[in-house]
A and B are shown apart, each in its own frame.
Chain A
Amino acid sequence: MKIAVCVKQVPDAAVHKRIDSGTKRLDRSGEGALNPVDANAVEEALRIKEAAGEGEVVVVSMGPEKALDSLRKALAMGADRALLVSDSAAAGSDLVATSYALAKALERESPDLVLFGQQASDSDGAVLWAAVAERLRRPMISQAAELKLEGGQITGKRQTEFGYDVIRATLPAVVAVADSINDPRYPSLKGIMGAKKKQQDVVSLADLGVEAERAGEQGSRTEVLALSDPPPRGDTQKIEDDGSGAEKIVEFLAGKRLL
């Protein structure tokens, strides 16, 4: 069983996220971190491998070279090796371009199962796995809160707006996991020390056979035209409860004629 886990480096939660007005792209110069729900995907891959007693977990990412720092966190948790697609020509890639390059990297690995975390904390997008599944022509399950592997098939419990769906797909398949699926382990000191020695490959778009015109802004089908401030939401008030909090809420509601 070979499992590829696709992960993303996002700005650390403590970093104030901003869009650079010149490039109109997210400013990624600050401290980076592993996208939180991607740790759940790594954890699930490790559990599947441990239950099977064999297999390989490869973490795959696309981004600047410093994204290796975040890949090393996955290695410290127990993933076997890392593959980073890093190329200045890939900067500014939208969904169409990113899914194309990532699918090329995954084709090279040819895993039985591809896992994603449900959502990226920087773009608020929850779309990449479905585009990748389509490019690989594989079945997909999203929002998985539980996974079970059996006889060449994977069964997932999908959380939806209406309750749970139980979906079964034949392998190879692509699955996006929800953060409710597990609690990711903390890397042990031994894991952290060992991570540095694990195989970490950095490949370019050319290495993957991705044509220049299919990457970056050239390979993208969307564009950012302008940035502006959102309309003000009106005043927000925040008070400390000094014992009169309930009264203050009543006054506020009465002022708005909501009582």
Chain B
Amino acid sequence: MSTLVFLEHHGNELQKGSLGVLAKAQALGGDIAAVVLGSGVEALAADAGRYGASTVYVADDQKLEAPLPQPRVDAIAQLVRDKGIETVLFAQSILSADIAAALAARLEAGLNWQLVDIAAKDGQVVGKQSALGDSVLVDVGWTSTPRLALFRAGVADPVETGGSASVEKIEVAFEEHSLAAEMLEQAHEESSGPSIEDAAVIVAGGRGLGAPEGFGMIEELAKALGGAVAATRAVVDAGWYPYAAQVGQTGKNVSPGLYVACGISGAIQHKVGMQNSKTIVAINKDPNAPIFEFADFGVVGDLHQIVPKLTELVRARRG
């Protein structure tokens, strides 16, 4: 069994989600390799050995500098063919989903997504897929190799194995259509406060706040609880709060001990970014909001009444 894990990086950091998938890959046994694609990324490759990869393939090429999917499809397809790789695993992200899907077409390979786990039984690989709003668990398989899989964001934490990997450089031959898109500009906001990804407590606000000023009371509650502030895509798009605080499909993935959702309906795009939180508390005036289906404790009511009072009570308790 030979497995390859695509390691996504941003700036000078390997993404936690893909290192988590590297930890999951160990369950398959056999050879576990990783691949890092970019420009000036050799130092990152050496890092991957500490998280369980025995070999790390690196393509260091200007054409791989921008985070565009298609040149990466060329690189991984080439690796799968040259090295006889049977399984390729990805952590769900905007970039990785595009790569995995295009790779499926290139290699005529089966792709399963929204996986929460993977295992090998008698030489057969079985994935666990959470489907239909987490109402059903589906055992999925592949009828041929290579097998491709996208893991749901945040399902596994990286595990330091203390090993070291042999780093092997590869040269990629690019297809013409893979280079027909170019990155003109990247507008990435750096967060000012502590990153929400590391926060133990998160208080998040959505459309239900009514106006950008509503974030004032969210910040107060976060301060009282010693936590960070997060926001939904809708309010970030509306300019109410900075992008760096966005949780969801096009935002951060968080798994704090406590997530307090204020005025958030709990649409799938948001849910995927926070469903791994240990305890979820929701305040929303709509009793039918989907967030109540997965919140541990939900209050149907006016957050403008409840949140300031809650802040006061928490402050009093914490002295």
A contacts, CB < 8 Å to B:
17-19, 26, 94-96, 99-100, 119, 121-135, 137-143, 145, 155, 158-170, 173, 178, 180, 220-231, 233-241, 245-250, 252-254, 256, 258-259
B233-255 vs A, CB cutoff 8 Å, 1 = contact: the mask equals: 10001000001000000111100
Given A95-B111, A132-B105, A138-B180, check contact A163 B139 (CB 8 Å). no
Per the bound structure, the CA–CA distance linking A82 and B144 in Å amounts to: 35
B281 contacts which of A128, A130, A169, A252 (Cβ < 8 Å)? A252
Smallest Cβ-Cβ distance to A100: which chain B residue: B105
Min CB gap A120→B, angstroms = 11
What is the predominant secondary structure among interface residues of chain A facing chain B?
A: mixed
Most buried by B among A159, A178, A226: A159
- The answer to whether B93 touches A161 (Cβ under 8 A) is yes
Min CB gap A148→B, angstroms = 11
- The answer to whether B108 touches A96 (Cβ under 8 A) is yes
B contact residues around A248 at 8 Å (CB):
297, 299
Most buried by A among B141, B185, B250, B293: B250
- The answer to whether A258 touches B279 (Cβ under 8 A) is yes
A contact residues around B294 at 8 Å (CB):
233, 236
B302 interface contact, C-beta 8 A? yes
B contacts, CB < 8 Å to A:
10, 66-70, 73, 93-95, 97-106, 108-114, 126, 130-144, 150, 175-178, 180-189, 201, 233, 237, 243, 250-253, 257-258, 268-269, 279, 281, 283, 287, 292-302, 305-307, 309-310, 312-314, 317-318
A contact residues around B135 at 8 Å (CB):
17, 230
A127 contacts which of B97, B136, B139, B257 (Cβ < 8 Å)? B97
- The answer to whether B101 touches A180 (Cβ under 8 A) is no
A19 contacts which of B131, B182, B300, B318 (Cβ < 8 Å)? B131
New contact pairs (8) apart from A18-B132, A124-B114, A238-B287, CB-CB < 8 Å = A96-B104, A131-B105, A140-B70, A222-B110, A223-B141, A227-B136, A241-B299, A245-B301
B contact residues around A132 at 8 Å (CB):
105
